Chains A and B, each alone.
Chain A
Amino acid sequence: MSAGHVAIDALVALSVAVAVLCAVGVLVTREPLDRLHYVTPVAAVSTAVLATAVVLHESFNARGLKAVLVAVTFIVLAPVLTQATARAVRVHRFGDWTIRPDEKKKS
């Protein structure tokens, strides 16, 4: 087994490990706003690492480019979704997403 294959397998293992750990994190934490923090590493780190592994394995052919496209899609769109979800949680709880006066005092 060459060093390239070892690197690819290590990247695949890292990508899967991050996804599994984040899933455990989501299951363990209690608050939706805390849980949101565990979605981002899957979308940003796992997809990017996996796309790197695919590109190392396939080079920049159609498969490699599609893997990169998936990673870029997640990296660009996941923060938008996370922000929208956090905003929806606050609107649902407080009727508004802006910081309340008592929260200003705490900070």
Chain B
Amino acid sequence: MNAWLLGAAVLLVTLLGVGIFAFRGPMFDRLVGLQLASAIGTLALLLLAEGYGRDIYFDLAVVLAAVSFGGTLAFVRFLERWL
């Protein structure tokens, strides 16, 4: 196991904790958990891509970085206006 995969493993464990956090507690705490999970998930994908030498994982990381922004922003606007 190289440093990339070791880092990815640590981040995936962290992602599990943040994921549990995003399922519990008040509404906006969950939203912050979702934001953090998006960033950590993207980092884990980058590490996995480099660790396994798979180009497609880099594409996934790029797409996740862009799409998670739009998704979280949609949640933010929804919570701000209607809840």
Contacts and interface: CB of A to CB of B under 8 A. Distances in A.
Contact of A88 (B11, B42, B61, B79): B79
B63 to A, nearest CB: 10
A12 B73 contact: no
B77 A26 contact: no
A70 B4 CA distance: 17
Nearest to A25: B36
A70 to B, nearest CB: 5
B28 A89 contact: yes
Q: Is the interface of B mostly helix, strand, loop or mixed?
A: helix
A19 B40 contact: yes
Interface string B11-45: 10010011001000011110111011001101100
A74 B83 CA distance: 27
A62 interface: yes
Contact of A73 (B27, B40, B65): B65
Contact of B80 (A26, A82, A88): A88
B29 A46 contact: no
Interface of A: 8-9, 12-13, 15-16, 19-20, 22-23, 26-27, 32, 35-36, 38-39, 42-43, 46-47, 50-51, 54, 57-58, 62-63, 66-67, 69-70, 73-74, 77-78, 80-82, 84-85, 87-89, 91-92
Those 7 A-B pairs whose CB atoms lie nearest each other, nearest first: A88-B80, A32-B28, A66-B58, A16-B7, A73-B65, A9-B3, A42-B39
